[in-house]
Amino acid sequence: MRLGFPVKILGHPGLRPYDSRRWQNSPHLSVSLAYLRDIILYLERKKIRFYRLAPELAPYIAHNDFPSFHRQIEECSKELAEVGKMALERGIRLSFHPPYVNLTSPQQEVVEHSLRKVNALARILEAMGLGPEAVVVIHAGGAYGDKPSALDRLCKVLEKLPQWVRSRLALENDDALFSVRDILWVHNRTDIPLVFDHLHFLNNRDELEEREALSLCLRTWPAGVTPKVHFSSPRTAMKLVEEAGKRRAYPPHPSEHADFVDPFEFIAFCRTALMTSQRDFDIMLEAKAKDLALLELRENVRKFAADLEVE
């Protein structure tokens, strides 16, 4: 079971996940890939085998107003292949999880922008020569007061995609609108594999028990492809906010991610999962402390549950 974390590196100041310069300064995928080489070497040193790439890896590539940025993948074909080979040689699984992808919108321009973004990220994974485990994870989008119609629109969009793009996609349950039951309906129609998110499930339950929901999601992945799961603990610390010169304390929202992962919650989840499903899977940790949270959790699992094989 590989543990992963998203985008930012907190354990090594100076490592950048992508070229974050504004468009006026001509940012480029080639710069992001140079940064990514350094990140891969850091992951190797820390024995981390799972990493979520920054969705901005190719800056402005899906932006309709900046056509000069649209050929970055072609311009970096050699560098992409080299960095992909670096990751493969080190057994590092890579993925994307872009925000603001909305394929259920009734507005065609919104859907088209989302498709440009998804297509570009899928092309990057293809150009890197990565296997089918490297996916672009998306949420469904909005419900617009009619969830069945929104899900139907989503399926119609997915069904029109080229097979090579569809094979790079995975769909995740969210914390408010689309439950595991909802995305299972989409999978049954489109065959898109499903990513189970633990904290989202706790905030957006349906009639399924967690062990059943997880097992159903794991089964949607093709044979020979390791599924991925998202895990985070809910934030429990109070917020201190300055208001009119005074400090006020506010409770956290139950959907907020904690800085670190509760090791006992994580261990209980893994034990239940492994008893329920015989299938191995990787876990993307969505804790705010990023790689620091992963390293801390890994040590705690070795201390409190040495029989669980995590890396």
Tokens of 121: 């990220």
Chain mean position to CA 249: 31
| CA–CA dist 101, 267 (Å, integer) | 32
pTM of the model: 0.94
Half-sphere exposure of 222 (CA within 13 A, CB side): 14
From first to last of its 311 residues, what are the pLDDT tens digits of the chain? 999 999 999 999 899 999 999 999 999 999 999 999 999 999 999 999 999 999 999 999 999 889 999 999 999 999 999 999 999 999 999 999 999 999 999 999 999 999 999 999 999 999 999 999 999 999 999 999 999 999 999 999 999 999 999 999 999 999 999 999 999 999 999 999 999 999 999 999 888 999 999 999 999 999 999 999 999 999 998 888 888 888 888 888 889 999 999 999 999 999 988 888 778 999 999 999 999 999 999 999 999 999 988 88
Residue type, 279: R
- The answer to whether 114 and 102 are in contact (CB under 8 A) is yes
Q: Which helix (H) or strand (E) holds 246?
A: strand 246-250
Exposed, middle or buried: residue 240 (CB in 10 Å: 0-12, 13-18, 19+)?
A: exposed
Q: Please measure the distance between the N-terminal and C-terminal CA atoms of the chain and give it in whole angstroms.
A: 6
| Domain ranges across the chain | 3-304
Superfamily of domain 3-304, CATH level 4: Divalent-metal-dependent TIM barrel enzymes (3.20.20.150)
Dihedral sign of CA atoms 172, 175, 178, 179 in order: positive
